[in-house]
A = this chain, B = another copy of it.
Amino acid sequence: MAKYKNHKSRKTGLPPGTLVHTGDKKTEVSKVNLFSYNELVISEKNNVKIKDLVKAKFDVTTQEWINILGVHDTKLIEEIGQVFNLHPLLLEDIVSVHQRPKIDEYENCLFVVVRILYLDDNLQLQSEQVSFVLMENTLISFHENHDECFEIIRERLRKAKGRVRKMGVDYLLYALMDAIVDHYFVILDKYGEVLEHIENDLLQDADDKIINRIYKMKSNVLQLRKTVVPMRELVNNLMKGGVDEIKEITQLFMKDLYDHIIQVYDTTENYRDTLSGLMDIHLSASSNKMNRIMKVLTIISTIFIPLTFIVGVYGMNFHYMPELEWKFGYFGIWAIMLIIVGGMIYVFKNKKWL
């Protein structure tokens, strides 16, 4: 399992600023995608070369969104770093793909690291790092693989839908981050369903394996929380202002994003509470089951052990046992035993054991 792996250790000892990709290569060939747009025009290019980026950089009439797919290609990252004069530590962070969400302010740009979350086939939480470099007129986004949740923004750009074409690249950053956070809600809904299933199964019967399901959900929710908490902090910083690259008009939208991430956080906390509640029910159900089993054993034993003793008495071979010769001795002993059983059942009913 990879969940306890800190891929950081792979590069222990290298000088800071060395570019070593710490994740898994998931995209065969790295791609550079370029949107140049303003309110009026838009051009979209795939497989852009470095020299085209240089050209785009100096075009002040349009705003550029450069999307790099495949951060395992450290050579490409380095070239882009040279074109846009990016700090070596920033480049290192782009390819160290197990960072927690954070903002760094550099002299010439704002660097934002966030994480896309998605579920694998076993409903385990997976995440992928997305790094944003926000400059005056350019936004560069870096990630390895998952591209779908940006598609919606591309559509808006192409069709000039919404504000996205009219406002600056800082708004584009907001829009992309909003798309990512929106996707968290899909995960929350999915996990909500799983919790409901566990709860239903639990209230019906205390299965032995349910503890493992609760445990897995718990560790999923903890991992979710690990991403959401720094995200909250990050968006809070963007919202509060004081970051030059984010214009005042965009800040209002950041506040909206903050509301969303708080909602994600609240739900996550809610799930944690629910899970410990489910754990309590499980423990209680398990102990009730034990109680029921013990009750059965005790009732059976308490009824039959004395009876077995009685029939044992008359199985003894003493030469002189008067009862054995009585005419109704056998039926009398049955009568006594039935009375004992009746008395016991009465006692058990009284104690509400039956």
Chain A positions within 8 Å of B, measured between CB atoms, are: 1, 4-6, 8-9, 12-13, 15-18, 87, 89, 92-93, 98-100, 102, 104, 152, 156, 161-164, 175, 178-179, 182-183, 185-186, 188-189, 191-193, 195-196, 203, 205, 208, 211-212, 215, 218-219, 222, 226, 252-253, 255-256, 259-260, 262-263, 266-267, 270, 273-274, 277, 279-291, 293-298, 300-302, 304-309, 311-321, 323-325, 327, 329-330, 333, 352-353
Contacts and interface: CB of A to CB of B under 8 A. Distances in A.
A260 B152 contact: no
A189 B104 contact: no
Q: How many copies does the complex hold?
A: 5
Contacts of A294: 290, 293-294, 297-298
B99 A259 contact: yes
B279 A162 contact: no
A328 to B, nearest CB: 8
| Most chain B CB within a 10 A radius of its CB, from A100, A282, A289, A352 | A289
Contact of A330 (B205, B311, B318): B318
A12 B304 contact: no
Contacts of A320: 327, 329-330
Contacts of A218: 277
B301 A6 contact: no
Contacts of A291: 208, 286, 289-290, 293
Contacts of A256: 16, 89, 92-93
Contacts of A288: 208, 211, 286
Contacts of A164: 15
B263 A8 contact: yes
A260 B102 CA distance: 12
Given A284-B282, A286-B284, A293-B298, A9 B185 contact: yes
- Counting from the closest, the 7 A-B pairs by CB-CB distance are A4-B192, A15-B162, A311-B312, A314-B316, A318-B330, A9-B185, A211-B284
A12 B185 contact: yes
| Most chain B CB within a 10 A radius of its CB, from A175, A222, A305 | A305
A318 B314 contact: yes
Contacts of A296: 298, 302
B330 A316 contact: yes
B312 A306 contact: no
Nearest to A278: B215
Contacts of A203: 212
A17 B287 CA distance: 52
16 contacts: A6-B185, A6-B267, A8-B260, A12-B182, A15-B164, A100-B266, A102-B259, A203-B212, A211-B280, A211-B285, A218-B277, A219-B277, A222-B273, A290-B291, A304-B305, A308-B309
B297 A302 contact: yes
A248 B152 CA distance: 42
B313 A305 contact: no
Contacts of A98: 263
